Structure 1
Amino acid sequence: MKGIMLTLLIPLVLWAASNPFEDQTEHASEPWSNRCLERVEIVNKLSADLLFASSAYCIQEEKYDQAADLYLTATAYGYFDSLRVADKSARGVLDTLKVTYFSPLDAKKRDRFAQVLRDKLDHLASTCRFLESLGKPNYMPRYMIEAAQNPLSQKSPNGLVPNYNAKALWDETRLEYLRCR
């Protein structure tokens, strides 16, 4: 009986260990990022770098509405991360990610995406409701910490602002940065 239980549990344990959505940090270099995520697949454990990468895949596939949803979520999560990472020199990584993922794309596709994004920005209510339901990021922003000039210090051994108020930062991101009402 023990042998059968182990045989049944080992694949489950291996799956759980490899499940990207169970990890605290998602990276754009992982295989599950090499596709255009549907809006229903976006969860608050996916970091801004992964969301930007997925947005670029959507643009490549001409799925501009999905690309805009991912881009706006990535932008909100990136802003939140910039508030909670102690070394403010790391903020520049967001621009680097945008250049890395979007500049290689076909200019016509980028222009079409920009048009869809402008339309979404003119009508933010749906995005704001989505971000409200999604909730604040729930991952360690390693992509940003690793980009910092002084990522770890005695004052911030994990790279984050000590005792930051996640709720207040998320409210600032949505209400002040995105101007959700």
Structure 2
Amino acid sequence: MKNLLIITLLMFGMNQINAQNVISIEADGNLESPNPLVCVDLSAVTNGNNPADILNGMKKCIEIKQYEKAAKLFAIAGVYGKYDTFRVKDKSAHQALLVLQMNIFENISDSEKNSLMEYLEKELKAGSSKLNETCQAIQKVGVPKYYPKYMIQHGIQAFVEKDGNGLIEKFDSLASWKLALKEYLHCGE
């Protein structure tokens, strides 16, 4: 009888847990990809593509097993995301790149993850000629020219502060670009 009572209470509790609704509130433009890419060479990326656009292309590359292209797209998306953390005022928004990356990785198989990791290690190894080539190709694409709405709208300030554009005033674009290349990819080391 005691076991029956415990099982009944557990079943009732499980039904209550299952009956609860999860509500997700997002600001318009959160993690937005206005110009999603397909699987392209790094040279086809423009400085108008934000990290969400680029990571969409990376996902397409993974789907067709073009891991070398995927690794290079991962690299430029990371540099652009790092650059955006320097220019977006709201620190709570800075995890936007990580969330975008997690969204990609949660939908790929372990085999695909392992293959991609092999290429990332090979293409982005510190001090390697492959990394140097990737750094030069990213520098040719150039400093981001898009407005980082995907990141700004990801932070808490998108809900509480409606004034301003979300960017740091008197931002040093060139110095931040060099720092993003160095900190994210170790370019020039």
Q: TM-score range by the shorter chain?
A: 0.7 to 0.9
**Structure 2 unpaired stretches of 5+:** 1-30
- Which of 116, 124, 136 is matched with 2:143 structurally? 136
CA distance, structure 2, for counterparts of residue 66 and residue 91 of structure 1: 25
Q: Tell me which residue corresponds to 1:76.
A: 79
1:66 has 2:72 as partner: no
Could you say which structure has the larger radius of gyration? 2
What displacement does 1:153 show? 4.4
TM-score, with structure 2 as normaliser: 0.75
Provide the C-alpha distance between the structure 1 equivalents of 2:137 and 2:52, rounded to a whole number of angstroms: 19
- The SS at the match of 1:130 is helix
Question: Partner amino acid for 1:110?
Answer: K
Q: In the alignment, is residue 94 of structure 1 matched against residue 101 of structure 2?
A: no
- The root-mean-square deviation of aligned C-alpha atoms, in Å, is 1.9
The alignment status of 1:157 with 2:160, answered yes or no, reads: no
Identity of aligned residues (%): 27
Offset at 1:27? 4.3
**More contact order relative to length (CA 8 Å, sep ≥ 6):** 2
Counterpart position of 1:54: 57
Taking the aligned partners of 2:133 and 2:165, their CA distance within structure 1 comes to: 34
Gaps spanning 5+ residues in structure 1: where?
Answer: 1-25
Structure 1 length as normaliser, TM-score?
A: 0.78
Once the two structures are superposed, the pairs formed by residues 107-118 of structure 1 within 5 Å of their partners are 107-118=110-121
Structure 1 counterpart of 2:107, from 86, 93, 104:
104
How many Å separate the matches in 2 of 1:148 and 1:165? 22
Letter matched to residue 141 of structure 1: P
Q: Which residue of 2 aligns with 1:18?
A: none
Judging changes above 3 Å, is the alpha-carbon distance between structure 1 residues 74 and 34 closer, same or farther for their aligned structure 2 residues?
Answer: closer
**2:124/2:185 contact within 8 Å kept:** no
